[in-house]
Amino acid sequence: MSAIVALGGLLVAGCATGPLRYQFFESSGPMTAAPRTAERAVRFAQAVDVTTLESDVRHLASPRLEGRLRGSQGNALARAYVIGRLQGAGLAPLFAASFEQRAYPEGDGAHAVNVGAIYRASDDAAHWVVLVAHYDHLGMIRGNVHPGADDNASAVALLLALGDALGRARPALRRHVVLLFPDAEEPPDIRTERMGSTWFWRHPPFSADTLDFALVLDLVGGRATLELRAAGLGDALFVLGTEADASLRALVAELEPVGGVAPLGLSLATIEAMPYRPGTRFSRSDYHGLREELRRPFLFLTTGRTETYHTPQDTPDSVDYERLGRVTRWVAQLAVHGAETDRELGWRDWRADARSDARVLLRLSEALDRHDGLPWLLRRALAADRQEIARLLASWEQGAVPTPTEYRRLLLASIRVQAALWHPSGWWFALW
């Protein structure tokens, strides 16, 4: 079946090769160039208790919750657990007197139930920042539980740890901090009006104009492969969205380094491009409605897909809790720094940093070259992609201006690199 889908995609790919809409620019400097984080953010990150991460993941991804499918009993149990943890942290309900927001995208009957809490700034009229991690997953498929430990219990556990720290430390912040746990992120709801997050972005608890910054987290606890670690990418945290405005990249660059976390900037286009349909985007998580509806500054954070993605093997034992703990401290620093910054954050759509994308993709491709288990057909296709990426990067670094046609070739290579990292035995990816 996968091969048939790939062949179908190959046929469609030849039907349209029109120009992409992206505007290209080059970022200035690495993401760890100019630390000047607020001392409060550094202290807060150091104080976060990461020992709760594993127990939260194990509860949310336990067989009893049967994969947390939207509308299921397991989903309701997960929701009750998250609400109980937020109450225990001493956070306030986000939606008037309730931690729940019911979504009615199809009229009668709630399709999804979001969960939200707020840590309030001292000024009730303050602006707000929001951290987002969906709590639903795939449920039971053909009798097999899909636990969803990395997707997305890992990110939910991360936000719960931050909620605990906010409730315990009670820092005085310039902006309200909202923790949002949307429902209905998984197929068939993703990229539709049925997403719980889409409903939230259309019905926010405060004026959209006062939303200064959003962090969306998905898949943040995966275990890096031996090949990635050997290539120096075992600590990579992909930070997508900084291409939208220089202020977002500067915000990340201002963070104090956290040992074991290496932020790498990628344009959103590299993970969501559909090159055979120029001008369309395949949103990967709960930023979909935020970008389409509110157009406010946001970043998407992920450690990337692993081979357990959307399989019954995405169990609590597959999560790297030490890595998740390091990422939690880094995100905690970014969250408080974003809530405290006096920098005005901007956001512009349809932008890409072609040179930075090529540099990161070349490193990922070189890591794959170390993988002994790749089918020869896929290995040959990846080698050709690697040569193409290197050629494009060399041209751009010598001063050539990226063109839409060249960037489309980079995106095609990006799709195969990501597919091979996720499923290295998939020989059919060579046909794309």
Residue 105: φ, ψ to 5°: -70, -20
Q: 39-351 maps to which CATH number?
A: 3.40.630.10
pTM: predicted TM-score of the whole model, two decimal places: 0.94
pLDDT of residue 5: 38
**Using one digit for the tens of pLDDT, what is the confidence trace for 208-224?**
999 999 999 999 999 99
Q: Which residue has the tokens 């949002």?
A: 180
pLDDT of residue 365: 94
Contact 25, 353 (CB under 8 A): yes
Q: Tell me the percentage of the chain whose pLDDT exceeds 90.
A: 82
**Using one digit for the tens of pLDDT, what is the confidence trace for 354-377?**
999 999 999 999 999 888 889 999
pLDDT of residue 373: 87
- Does residue 180 register a pLDDT over 70? yes
Q: 276 falls in which pLDDT band (50, 70, 90)? A: low
Q: 273 falls in which pLDDT band (50, 70, 90)? A: confident
pLDDT of residue 25: 86
**Using one digit for the tens of pLDDT, what is the confidence trace for 45-73?**
999 999 999 999 999 999 999 999 999 99
Q: Which residue has the tokens 């889908």?
A: 5
Half-sphere exposure of 132 (CA within 13 A, CB side): 25
Q: 4 falls in which pLDDT band (50, 70, 90)? A: very low
Average pLDDT score, the chain: 92
Residue 348: φ, ψ to 5°: -135, 135
Contact 374, 368 (CB under 8 A): yes
Contact 303, 238 (CB under 8 A): yes
More confident residue, 268 or 10: 268
pLDDT of residue 175: 97
- Does residue 313 register a pLDDT over 80? yes
pLDDT of residue 15: 38
Q: 37 falls in which pLDDT band (50, 70, 90)? A: confident
pLDDT of residue 9: 42
Q: 13 falls in which pLDDT band (50, 70, 90)? A: very low
Q: 109 falls in which pLDDT band (50, 70, 90)? A: confident
- Does residue 239 register a pLDDT over 90? yes
pLDDT of residue 32: 67
**Using one digit for the tens of pLDDT, what is the confidence trace for 201-210?**
999 999 999 9
Render the burial of 79-106: b for 16+ CB within 10 Å, e for the rest: bebbbebbeebebebbbeeebebebebe
